[in-house]
């Protein structure tokens, strides 16, 4: 009886905490489904604060033609480019660190991982002045570049690559594969889980970035979702229906990506924290 009671109270406690964390998101979702003029009409707290009986998708259709809609597409484009180019760069580097024997390998590995561990935001401002000199402001290249070298992604891929048996490589070499062939046809196909984990890291880094896109890409053509949303919110007579719909879209997209690859996400988090 006692353990059961304990389990019940733990369950209730967990439920209260979980719901507290969830309420802001539920509130955002609810308000994205009602006209902006009604956002503050339901704040005398009742169940109607968190539920809408007559939901409308009006805000979402308005979003499509707004700056935030355009910016969200930019975010998708920039994040996708970051993942594709970033995976190529990081996987190739990890291959260079795992498949060969040479003096100084450990040293190169240390330098690569340590330098990428310097948090990017700390050097965003000096880097942005350099990018200004190089005419990279308001270009997609400028937005994508900082995201493609990711120390954690290289680390994760290298750990995985180290587990690929040398016999496979030798067999491949005997069959006439060049080193690029070994990388492309042996390492990459065997490393799907690690590639997905690393891809998630690259994606989330780019999707969540704010300082960098604020410094480097704020014109109408290159602005990214979070920056556009914060601009919208900063206006004097912001349409909060639109703000909430934008917040939902910018949250649901990464949520779907994480949920789709949940296993790999948890694995990559776990391995980066435990090693």
Partner 1 sequence: MRKRGQGLIALAFLAPALLCLAVLRIVPAISAVVESFYAESLLRGGRVFAGLGNYTDLVSNKDFRQAVGVTLLFTVLVNPIQVVVSFLLAVLFTQRAMGSKLWRTLVILPIATPPAVSAVIWSVIYRPDGLANGVLERLGLPVQPFLTSSGQVLPSLIVLLSWIGVGYWMLFLIAGIQEVPVEVREAALLDGASAWRRMVSVILPLVRRPLAFVLVADTVSNLLVFAPVQILTKGGPNGNSNLLMYDVYTRAYAIGDIHVAQAEVVILVALTLAIVAGQFRLLRGDQ
Tell which positions 136-175 bind partner 1, by CB under 8 A.
Answer: 145-146, 148-149, 154
Binding residue for partner 1 (CB under 8 A) from 33, 63, 97, 201?
97
- Provide the phi-psi class of 138: left if phi over 0, else alpha when psi is between -120 and 50, else beta: left
Structure tokens at 218: 């704020």
Binding to partner 1, residues 172-201 (CB under 8 A): 179, 183
100 counts as binding partner 1 under rule CB under 8 A? yes
Out of 199, 217, 225, 241, the only residue in the binding site for partner 1 (CB under 8 A) is 225
Output the CA–CA distances (angstroms, integers) from residue 234 to 132, 227, 247, in the order listed.
Answer: 26, 11, 14
DSSP state of 63: H
Backbone angles phi, psi at 110, to 5 degrees: -60, -45
* Site membership for partner 1, residue 220 (CB under 8 A): no
Residue 237 in contact with partner 1, rule: CB under 8 A:
no
For residue 229, state whether it binds partner 1 (rule: CB under 8 A).
yes
Binding-site size for partner 1 (CB under 8 A) equals: 92
- The distance of closest approach from Cβ of residue 148 to partner 1 in the complex, given in angstroms and rounded to an integer, is 6
In the structure encoding, which two tokens stand for residue 62, read together? 């308005």
The span from the CA of 208 to the CA of 257, in Å, is 13
Question: Which residue number, 40 or 237, has a Cβ lying nearer to partner 1?
Answer: 40
Binders of partner 1 among residues 63 to 82 (CB under 8 A) are: none
Q: Residue 177 gets which letter from DSSP?
A: -
Q: Do 200 and 264 touch, CB atoms closer than 8 A?
A: yes
Tell me which of 47, 54, 103, 237 binds partner 1, using CB under 8 A. 103
CA–CA separation, 132 and 127 (whole Å): 9
Per-residue b/e over 182-207, b at no fewer than 16 CB within 10 Å? bbeebbbebbeebbbbbbbbbbbbbb
d(CA 117, CA 169): 31
Residue of the chain from 71, 78, 136, 243 that contacts partner 1 (CB under 8 A): 243
- Residue 210 sits in the site that holds partner 1 (CB under 8 A): yes
Please report how close the Cβ of residue 97 comes to partner 1 at its closest, in angstroms.
7
Report 27-66 residues binding partner 1 (CB under 8 A): 27-28, 39-40, 43-45, 49
58 or 184: CB nearest partner 1: 184
Taking the least distance from each CB to partner 1, the nearer of 111 and 220 is 111
């Amino acid at each position: 009886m006692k353990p059961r009671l304990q389990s019940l109270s733990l369950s209730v406690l967990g439920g209260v905490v979980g719901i507290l964390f969830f309420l802001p998101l539920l509130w955002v979702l609810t308000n994205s489904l009602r006209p902006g003029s009604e956002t503050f009409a339901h704040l005398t707290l009742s169940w109607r604060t968190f539920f809408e009986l007559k939901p409308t998708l009006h805000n979402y259709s308005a979003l499509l033609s707004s700056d935030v809609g355009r910016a969200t597409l930019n975010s998708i484009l920039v994040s996708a480019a970051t993942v594709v180019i970033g995976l190529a760069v990081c996987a190739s580097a990890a291959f260079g660190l795992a498949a060969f024997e040479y003096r100084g390998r450990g040293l190169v590995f240390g330098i690569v991982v340590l330098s990428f561990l310097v948090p990017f935001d700390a050097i965003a401002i000096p880097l942005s002045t350099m990018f200004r000199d190089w005419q990279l402001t308001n270009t997609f290249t400028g937005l994508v570049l900082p995201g493609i070298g990711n120390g954690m992604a290289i680390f994760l891929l290298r750990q995985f690559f180290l587990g690929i048996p040398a016999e496979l490589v030798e067999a491949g070499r005997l069959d006439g594969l060049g080193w690029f062939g070994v990388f492309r046809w042996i390492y990459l196909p065997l490393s799907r889980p690690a590639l997905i984990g690393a891809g998630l890291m690259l994606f989330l880094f780019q999707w969540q970035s704010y300082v960098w896109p604020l410094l480097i890409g704020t014109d109408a053509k290159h602005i990214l979702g979070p920056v556009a949303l914060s601009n919208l919110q900063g206006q004097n007579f912001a349409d909060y229906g639109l703000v909430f719909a934008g917040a939902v879209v910018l949250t649901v997209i990464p949520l779907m990506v994480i949920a789709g690859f949940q296993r790999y996400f948890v694995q990559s988090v776990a391995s980066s924290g435990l090693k």
